Amino acid sequence: MHSIKVIRKKARVFIIIGGAWGDEGKGKVAAFYAKIADLVIRATGGANAGHTLYINGHKVALHLIPGGIGYPGVICLIGQGVALDLDILFQEMEDLRNLGVLDAEERLKISGMATVLMPYHKELDELYERMRENKVGTTKRGIGPAYEDKVKRDGLLVYHLLDSLENLEAVIKNAVERHNILFRHYGMKEAVVDPHALAVKYHEYGERIKKMVVDGHNFVRGYVDDPTKTIVVEGAQAVMLSIETGNRPNYVTSSDSNINGTLSGAHLSWKDITEVILIYKAYLSRVGNGPFYTELPAHLDADGNLIPFAPEEAKIGDKLREAAGEYGATTGRPRRVGLYDILVGRYAVEVSGADYACFNHMDTIGKFALESNGGSISVVTSYKYRGEEINYYPFDTIYTHEVPEPCSVISIPGWVIEKGTHTYEDLPENAKKFIEVIEEYIGVPVKYIGIGPKNSDLIVRTDV
């Protein structure tokens, strides 16, 4: 018997995943890699995500098109895991054109296997949220219903839009049959779908995107099998919002925004990975409902809306939210904020297989500690739960109905990061101490450190 060992030389593949509940600043590390990338892939989610880009000095918010589009020559792919809202895609293409990116249509590719998010999904998102007792606090972008159709096997693929008008109409008709019953039942006459009219519109959309549609698998293989190429996968949402590893069943998005869904959504396998980078902030934030055990008190009502307050009445969570500018990029909603939670952090490392971590907002938290928090900042290292101290993130709260509370914390004096700091060695000692304490607990090196709002405000450590 003999064995044949095939040594495959492959592209470098960097995967960027959110470490908590989203909005960690994934775009900054994505931008760092986009500079050296050949292909940037968006793998999951839809227009619920959002990142801000500066192109030719102008600000643009992209929800669907990968941020790599801002870098000349970089090819971008919307992968098969995405729920694609074409109205928003067209708007983003136009915004890019207006900013002088004239070749976006040539550089953007769309997997034929991506799910098409239809207008009725947005109507359903509103309706479901209205009917729910445990409100998710969705972004109302139709995400849940689009993935629901996918899982129900009634989803519409990008490929369907390229089929004949009659076939497309038949697929839409099948998909909306039950939705229309619901719309009629709830008196939502305007939402009732006319399959023919919608098929005509989306058939025309199909014509518009036809040139961009690719066979996702083969397209990505063309890069993966070329050792000179670099691929970057821009994760959307985060580990704790994943339908697989987050706060199920209610307080999650409807795709697997952790590593497994991100890989399959990008037409990749785990064997293709070079590096998984988990992105955190030096504190935590959450927009929408759901557990948040280290949340700081703030003037927010149960639906996450700001309750008006006089400046002198600001609670500590209000102060951190203001200091950090924590308002949603997609919905503008004020975000809930809290202390960095080692138990969330370590869980996310364990279930994502991260190689490295990034900590953003290191400037914000050091300054906040000094100016608003009595001089220091804490990270939570254990909870008090059911009368005991525990050092893991519990999911059985579903039936215990008890709420874990921060128990042990480590407090570190604040710091100021001077302009012009470029290396880890030059960071203030307390900032380094903060990083080193966290590294010890979460078990992966913190290779990337965000020290300001600009993409260039990123320290990349060479010592780890």
Stretch of 134-142, 275-283, 351-359, 422-430 contacting ligand IMP, by CB under 6 A? 134-142
Nearer of residues 287 and 412 to ligand IMP, judged by Cβ: 287
CB of 7 to ligand IMP, least distance (A): 39
Is residue 242 a contact residue for ligand IMP (CB under 6 A)? no
Q: Is 23 a catalytic residue?
A: yes
Radius of gyration of the chain (CA): 23
CB of 262 to ligand IMP, least distance (A): 13
Stretch of 106-114, 136-144, 306-314, 354-362 contacting ligand IMP, by CB under 6 A? 136-144
Is residue 22 a contact residue for ligand IMP (CB under 6 A)? yes
Q: Is 51 a catalytic residue?
A: yes
Angle at 419 between CA 418 and CA 422, to 5 degrees: 95
Stretch of 140-148, 154-162, 349-357, 456-464 contacting ligand IMP, by CB under 6 A? 140-148
Given candidates 111, 139, 230, 373, which one binds ligand IMP under the rule CB under 6 A? 139
Is residue 23 a contact residue for ligand IMP (CB under 6 A)? yes
CB of 277 to ligand IMP, least distance (A): 17
- The secondary structure element, H or E, covering residue 32 is helix 26-34
Per annotation, catalytic residue among 2, 23, 303, 463: 23
DSSP letter for 417, please: P
Given candidates 44, 115, 138, 381, which one binds ligand IMP under the rule CB under 6 A? 138
Q: Does residue 145 have a cis peptide bond before it, meaning omega lies within 30 degrees of 0?
A: no
* Three-state secondary-structure class, residue 151: helix
Could you give the count of Cα atoms lying within 13 Å of 229 in the half-sphere of its Cβ? 21
- Cα separation of the two ends of the chain: 43
Nearer of residues 50 and 406 to ligand IMP, judged by Cβ: 50
Per-position DSSP letters for 248-290, written without gaps between them: TTTBS-SS--SHHHHHHHTT--GGG-SEEEEEEESEEEE-SSS
Given candidates 12, 28, 121, 141, which one binds ligand IMP under the rule CB under 6 A? 141
CB of 253 to ligand IMP, least distance (A): 3
**d(C-alpha 372, C-alpha 311), whole Å:** 13
CB of 420 to ligand IMP, least distance (A): 32
Per-position DSSP letters for 160-207, written without gaps between them: HHTS-HHHHHHHHHHHHHHHHHHHHHTT-GGG---HHHHHHHHHHHHH
Given candidates 241, 362, 379, 442, which one binds ligand IMP under the rule CB under 6 A? 241
Per annotation, catalytic residue among 51, 121, 160, 267: 51
Given candidates 84, 287, 379, 417, which one binds ligand IMP under the rule CB under 6 A? 287
Stretch of 21-29, 215-223, 347-355, 357-365 contacting ligand IMP, by CB under 6 A? 21-29
Nearest of 248, 209, 187, 239 to residue 106 by alpha carbon = 209
Stretch of 15-23, 379-387, 409-417, 452-460 contacting ligand IMP, by CB under 6 A? 15-23
Answer for the pair 427, 421: CB distance below 8 angstroms, yes or no: yes
Which residues have CB under 8 Å from 339's CB, separation 6+?
Answer: 283, 284, 294, 296, 377, 378, 379, 380, 406, 409
Nearer of residues 147 and 415 to ligand IMP, judged by Cβ: 147
Instruction: List, in sequence order, every residue forming a beta bridge with 105; answer none if it has no partner.
Output: none
CB of 77 to ligand IMP, least distance (A): 19
Strand order in the sheet with 409-413: 283-286, 336-341, 376-380, 409-413
- Catalytic positions are 23, 51
- List residues binding ligand IMP (CB under 6 A): 21-23, 48-49, 136-139, 141, 143-144, 237, 241, 253-254, 287-288
